[in-house]
Amino acid sequence: MSALDQLFANVRVQANIFNNAQYCGLWAVDTSGSRRLSFHVVSAGRCALHIEDQTIELSKGDAVFFPQDARHKIASLGANVNEVVVNTATAIELSQGLQADGTALICGNFSHNNPLFDRLLSQLPTAIILRHSNTQSSNAASQLHKSRHEDTKHIGVTECRGSTVVLMQLLLDEAWAVGEAQSALLNRLADCLLYLLLRDHLPTQTGAFAAMSHPKLSAAMSFMHSSYHQKLTVDTIAAQSFMSRSAFARQFKEVVGESPLEYLTQWRMSKAYTLLAEEGASTLAAAIEVGYDSEAAFSKAFKRVTGFGPGQARTNLLEQQI
């Protein structure tokens, strides 16, 4: 199992699509504020993304993701977003057919129940634009965007390729077939889209997600994800990547931004959080499961990584059950 597969199995990310409709005339929407990774997919027409004093055109098949739930506006082309009141336009059902000036949007976010995932998302750009490479206009818009913003580290741009092209078309087809937001299949397709984005289309070469697909570091990441309960050393981890201890530690720090053992501790606390908050394990049981001999040492590390103690994690479980 790959490191990314192991991560998704542990944090249990799920898409929640709440809008699948079209807008006409002058309009603007801002779906930020959920404190979740949010996204939009343009299923028909064109619109503009306004973020960080920049305006970027989006076309059919383009998607934009906001890993840290950044403030943004998706609006009709040419609209003065300072004059248009956001989230007041009437959403028109897709069953009425695409209107002459209509722009159809799929809007949603991704929920999870693990503090490690938010930490990893913080390493990503403020916005990631996934261009649909099947259309000439999309390709041209992508090249224009890259030339204008190639030095803007907060906005990443990438293009669909391979299986992502097929998946995007399935998502667009299903959006129009069901004509509404409440669709289990739409949510699962969005889950797959996020997975492929993180695996194949990351517009950055740094961060833990980048390490999970790195030609040298991915084996070490997978090893830490599966052997976290063992007494691991940097030498043992480096051997998985066929690198010396010093070379591995240096490259890991350059890519991930922290040492291998620091990341290993975060992964252990992520697994422990799942045991505590979702399975109701005791603090001692969770400590032993993730490789700690001392409950006190585990509790200290858990609070340092998550910001709260093991007892609070179990309290979250009890509150969910009430």
Interval 39-73: pLDDT, tens: 999 999 999 999 988 999 999 999 999 999 999 99
Q: Give the confidence band of 153 by pLDDT, cuts at 50, 70, 90.
A: low
The residue among 203, 237, 260 that closes a domain is 203
Q: How confident is the model at residue 141 (pLDDT cuts 50, 70, 90)?
A: very low
Q: What is the pLDDT of residues 98-114, one digit of tens each?
A: 999 999 999 999 999 88
In a domain, 186, yes or no: yes
105 & 225 share domain: no
pLDDT band at 309 (very low <50, low <70, confident <90, very high): very high
Q: Which residue has the tokens 């997975």?
A: 195
Length of the chain: 322
* Domain assignment of residue 2, yes or no: no
| Inside any domain, residue 226 | yes
226 and 288 in a single domain? The answer is yes
Q: Which of 138-147, 208-217, 253-262 has the lowest mean pLDDT?
A: 138-147
186-190 CB contacts, 8 Å cutoff, 24+ apart: 186/15, 186/17, 186/20, 186/106, 187/14, 187/15, 187/16, 187/17, 187/108, 188/15, 190/15, 190/17, 190/39, 190/41, 190/106, 190/108, 190/110
> Is pLDDT at 137 greater than 70 in this prediction?
no
Band (316; pLDDT cuts 50, 70, 90): low
Mean pLDDT of the chain: 90
Q: Whole domain around residue 194: which residue ranges?
A: 14-203
Q: Which residues contact 29 (CB under 8 A, 6 or more apart)?
A: 23, 73, 74, 75, 86, 87, 89, 105, 107
Tell me how many domains the chain contains: 2
Is residue 160 a part of any domain in this protein? yes
Same domain, 154 and 31: yes
Do residues 191 and 242 both lie within one domain? no
Asked if residue 147 has pLDDT above 50, the reply is no
The per-residue pLDDT for 133 is: 66
Residue 1, in any domain of the structure? no
Average pLDDT of the segment spanning 3-16: 94
Note whether 187 and 298 are same-domain residues.
Answer: no
Give the bridge partners for 129, in sequence order: 64, 157
Is 302 found in the same domain as 185? no
SS3 of 252, please? helix
Say how far apart CA 101 and CA 45 lie, in whole Å: 8
In this predicted structure, the answer to whether residue 318 has a pLDDT above a threshold of 50 is no
Rounded to 10 degrees, what is the CA torsion of 125, 197, 278, 33?
A: 40
- Asked if residue 222 is part of any domain, the answer here is yes
pLDDT greater than 80 at residue 317:
no
Judgement on whether residues 89 and 48 belong to the same structural domain of the protein: yes
Identify whether residues 84 and 133 lie together within a single domain: yes
- Summarised one tens digit per residue, pLDDT across range 91-100 is 999 999 999 9
276's CB contacts (< 8 A; 6+ apart) are 283, 286, 310, 313, 314, 317
Task: Answer whether residue 30 shows pLDDT above 80.
Answer: yes
Which residues 6+ apart lie within 8 Å of 158 measured at CB?
Answer: 128, 129, 130, 131, 197, 201, 202, 203
Is 146 a residue whose pLDDT tops 90?
A: no
